[in-house]
Amino acid sequence: MAEHLELLAEMSAVGRMGTQERLKHAQKRRTQQLKKWAQFEKEIQSKKAKGEKRRKKGSSKEKQVVFPENVRLLEAACRNDVEEVRQFLQSGLDPNLYNEDGLTALHQCCIDDYEDIVLLLLEAGADVNACDSELWTPLHAAATCGHLHLVELLIAKGANLLAVNSDGNMPYDLCEDDATLDYIETAMAEQGITQETIEEARSTVERAMVNDIRRLVKEGVDLNTPLDHSATLLHIASANGYLEAAELLLEHKASMSAKDNDGWQPLHAAACWGQIQLVELLVAHGADLNGKSVLDETPLDVCADEEVRAKLMELKQKHDAIMKSHDKHKSLLQRRTSSAGSRGKVVRRVSVTERTNLYRKEHEKEAIVWQRQQQQESEAEDEDRQTDAELQLRVSVSWSGS
């Protein structure tokens, strides 16, 4: 800002200026004033920052955010940072660390096609058959993505070609790349894997579940006992398409109305995971097609599979039609019952004489009807006799003519 004495010295010169010149001079001085003010503010902030820095140096060490080991390893693997992953493994970090979904660094690198880190992890002892929360192995991931060189590497390291995920799929089921699929099928043939072996492997988990259910029944354990997330055994069988296990559970009165933490009933689980046989089975046993979850979702709302959606809609239409017919029949029965009751009351109020007259009239009507029937039968017999006579006459005439 301008000094006070400098401003006083300018007063006489400013007094001789015209209006426009005086405005320009004022604007110039204002600009100078703002610049000097900004510089002053900058110096103040600089001094404050220096003071804060000195105070921090004199205080204890600054706190730092430390992430868990599994997060650091997976994050470095996701960035394809080979050196950082190597340092972690050399420092003794477990290569099989996983996140909340059970995903390991090996799973992630098989998805992202980071071969260098896959080699590092396997050399450090990573489990080639590690399963995530949906039972996917690294081979499932590599086969799905069509990474042939990783599939070759994993199989060479002992990856299980018959590993079954929670949807009942093996790695070769999920592979759409022709070259990768050819390699997997060739490896399966070399290991002597047949169709019978494949079917047996697929049913292993369900067979184990069936055996567990039979054991629980024998021990008298409640089959509706809530498990993880309050899901029951019927929820699990329905979600995984375990038909034999579900039939066994229903045979022993497992509840179809039990709800998990999300308010899902077993039918929701079957619909969500596209298990059409389980949907039909549950509905046949009376499962609620209109059951609502915590978010007000029906089984149809959570179903993404078009075939299963069509089946659910068909079953719902049939169910609604049956219920409508049942309600109509029930209403008709109620009306009949009501009518019969009212007639009974009327009859009870009628006197004996009136009742006798009523019966007599009914008998007279019946007699009239009977007489009419007899008359009609007699007339019909006369017509038949007349027809027979005419025929005989025609025959005799024809014979005499010949």
DSSP-derived secondary structure for 88-137: HHHTT--TT-B-TT--BHHHHHHHHT-HHHHHHHHHTT--TT---TT---
pLDDT tens profile 294-315: 999 999 999 988 999 999 999 8
CA distance 320 to 314: 10
The single residue listed with the structure tokens 């503010």 is: 41
CA distance 89 to 93: 5
Residue 357 has pLDDT above 70, yes or no: no
pLDDT tens profile 185-220: 999 999 999 999 998 888 888 899 999 999 999 999
Q: Say what percent of the chain tops pLDDT 70.
A: 74
Output DSSP code: residue 177: -
Q: 207-321 adopts what CATH topology? A: 1.25.40
Please state whether the predicted TM-score (pTM) of the whole model is above 0.75. no
Q: Which of 311, 306, 310 is CA-nearest to residue 278?
A: 311
Mean pLDDT computed over 162-178:
90
Mean pLDDT computed over 80-96:
93
Give the pLDDT of residue 329. Answer: 60
Mean pLDDT computed over 136-165:
96
CATH class given for the domain over 69-193 = mainly alpha
The residues of the chain that CATH labels 1.25.40.20 are: 69-193, 207-321
Contact between 163 and 151 (Cβ < 8 Å)? no
Give the pLDDT of residue 328. Answer: 62
Give the pLDDT of residue 1. Answer: 45
| Half-sphere exposure (Cβ direction) of 392: Cα atoms closer than 13 Å | 6
